[in-house]
């Protein structure tokens, strides 16, 4: 018997570890809840709410095929070793994760299981390319997106589909398993979402039909022009290869490669979850203004696109990408508050909170990371509203009563420029 250890790969189709395990015979599908093993970045509330429904969906799919999901609590190594003793399993397969704390955890688990005489194999289910596969001509890592994108193009297309396989789990009927509800994960999730593999497939099919309009509509938060696939990709409910094959629009595929770039950077620069990639920015004179931070978090700044984005986040667990850039710029540049505050808030509230993407996005808007926006690029929130929400539909939906702006943007801009110039002068 092979234990298949599910993590952020909550699907049956196009799942390399599951397919390889099934080829060996009996398969035991297992999920282990061990958030404390994720270091300083355990799943936030919105992610936990999504996970609850996604695990339910996975278990239902397994039961339709005569199997079921065995749910246990961590520590992960203890849980796996206990399952080996209970079942006599001789192998453990899983799909890789790339977050710093989990890389370390997985290496220790793998070493211990192999020392115990078990066969261990790991696979790539989450990325088009492994983070270490795309290299510069000198064998190093990339820090600028465009050459990274070109290198990915040269590297070739994604691998072929891994076919869904029949599952045999003859020895699992008597095993103890927690009910997903016993994990005490949040139950509240906006009704517009459908976690799980079936929901991911429906969303992908829906987007593929309108993807030809993506380039023209993707910057308009007042229009349903984006894929909304990010949480499905994060939880592995659909593979990036499936998305790549279904959507041939280059503008969208470029966004998939941006996601690859985020994981490439996190792999090579793991400290960037909390520290700027460009070390001189560690000396930036950030302000401490708890009331202003709270106003930003609540969507009470008085700037329509900022407030609409933050309220959309609170209500749905998601925010349009254009709004993410605007609210990020407002926090870091207008309020001159640390980008880490924004990263933590997004981590708690986003259903698609992904450590690689979250880190890259906030370092980009903060001007302190790879391929970052120049320090002098400061979004004017009012101008952004006029350009990308011209009729005010997005603002009106989320902020029906306008508030008085909490600051003068031009004054805040000059303050930010002075702070960032000081970093460059003495960096």
3-state helix, strand, coil in the chain (%, to 5): 55, 5, 40
Residue 153 lies in a domain: yes
Q: Considering 216, 247, 268, which residue would you say is the last residue of a domain?
A: 268
Q: What is the pTM of this model?
A: 0.96
What pLDDT does residue 170 have? 62
What pLDDT does residue 425 have? 67
What pLDDT does residue 161 have? 66
Same domain, 319 and 250: no
Residue 175 lies in a domain: no
CA-angle at 11, arms to 28 and 152, nearest 5°:
120
Q: In terms of residue numbers, what domain contains 283?
A: 271-426
Same domain, 387 and 244: no
Residue 190 lies in a domain: no
What is the C-alpha to C-alpha distance for residues 421 and 61, in angstroms, rounded to an integer?
Answer: 55
What pLDDT does residue 423 have? 86
Same domain, 152 and 98: no
Same domain, 314 and 388: yes
What is the C-alpha to C-alpha distance for residues 203 and 243, in angstroms, rounded to an integer?
Answer: 10
CA-nearest of 203, 194, 193, 198 to 317 is: 193
Q: Considering 125, 141, 175, which residue would you say is the last residue of a domain?
A: 125
**3-state DSSP of 137-206:** CCCCCCCCHHHHHHHHHHHCCCCCCCCCCCCCCCCCCCCCCCCHHHHCCCCCCCCCCCCCHHHHHHHHHH
Residues of the chain with pLDDT under 70: 157-161, 163-164, 169-173, 372-373, 425-427
What pLDDT does residue 98 have? 97
Q: How many domains does the chain have?
A: 3
What pLDDT does residue 200 have? 98
Same domain, 285 and 338: yes
What pLDDT does residue 270 have? 97
CA-nearest of 49, 285, 249, 66 to 227 is: 249
Same domain, 287 and 416: yes
Go through 213-233 and write b for each residue having 16 or more CB atoms within 10 A of its CB, e for each that does not.
ebeeebbbbbbebbbbbbbbb
Same domain, 253 and 392: no
Same domain, 283 and 353: yes
> Token pair for residue 169?
């789990």
Q: Considering 81, 100, 125, which residue would you say is the last residue of a domain?
A: 125
Same domain, 339 and 318: yes
What pLDDT does residue 2 have? 96
What pLDDT does residue 426 have? 54
Residue 412 lies in a domain: yes
What is the C-alpha to C-alpha distance for residues 80 and 5, in angstroms, rounded to an integer?
Answer: 9
What pLDDT does residue 373 have? 65
Same domain, 279 and 410: yes
CATH assignment at residue 238: 1.25.40.80
What pLDDT does residue 102 have? 98
């Amino acid at each position: 018997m092979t234990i298949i250890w599910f993590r952020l790969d909550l699907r049956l189709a196009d799942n390399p570890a599951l397919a390889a395990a099934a080829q060996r015979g009996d398969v035991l599908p297992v999920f282990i809840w061990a958030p404390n093993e994720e270091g300083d970045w355990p799943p936030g509330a919105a992610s936990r709410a999504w996970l609850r429904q996604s695990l339910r969906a996975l278990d239902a799919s397994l039961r339709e095929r005569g199997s079921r999901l065995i749910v246990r609590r961590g520590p992960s190594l203890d849980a796996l070793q206990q399952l080996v003793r209970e079942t006599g399993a001789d192998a453990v397969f899983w799909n890789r994760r790339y977050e710093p704390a989990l890389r370390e955890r997985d290496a220790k688990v793998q070493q211990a299981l192999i020392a115990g005489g078990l066969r261990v194999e790991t696979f790539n289910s989450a990325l088009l390319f492994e983070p270490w596969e795309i290299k510069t001509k000198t064998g190093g890592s990339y820090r600028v997106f465009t050459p990274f994108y070109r290198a990915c193009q040269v590297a070739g297309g994604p691998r072929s589909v891994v076919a869904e396989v029949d599952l045999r789990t003859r020895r699992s009927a008597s095993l103890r398993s927690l009910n997903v509800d016993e994990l005490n994960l949040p139950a509240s999730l906006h009704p517009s979402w459908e976690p799980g593999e079936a929901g991911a497939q429906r969303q992908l099919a829906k987007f593929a039909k309108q993807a030809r309009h993506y380039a023209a509509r993707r910057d308009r938060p007042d229009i349903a022009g984006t894929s909304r696939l990010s949480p499905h990709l994060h939880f592995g409910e659909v593979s990036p290869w499936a998305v790549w094959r279904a959507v041939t629009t280059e503008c969208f595929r470029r966004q998939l490669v941006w996601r690859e770039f985020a994981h490439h950077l996190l792999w090579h620069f793991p400290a960037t979850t909390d520290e700027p990639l460009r070390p001189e920015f560690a000396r930036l004179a950030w302000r401490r203004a708890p009331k202003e931070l709270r106003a930003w978090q609540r969507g009470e700044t008085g700037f329509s696109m900022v407030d609409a984005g933050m309220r959309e986040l609170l209500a749905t667990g998601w925010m349009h990408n254009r709004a993410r850039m605007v609210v990020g710029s407002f926090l870091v540049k207008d309020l001159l508050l640390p980008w880490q505050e924004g990263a933590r808030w997004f981590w708690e509230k986003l259903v698609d909170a992904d450590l690689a993407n979250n880190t890259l996005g906030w370092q980009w808007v903060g001007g302190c990371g790879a391929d970052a926006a120049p320090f002098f690029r400061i979004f004017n929130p009012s101008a952004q509203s006029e350009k990308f929400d011209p009729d005010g539909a997005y603002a009106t939906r989320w902020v029906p009563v306008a508030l008085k702006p909490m600051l003068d943007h031009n004054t805040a801009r000059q303050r930010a420029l002075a702070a960032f110039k000081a970093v460059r002068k003495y960096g």
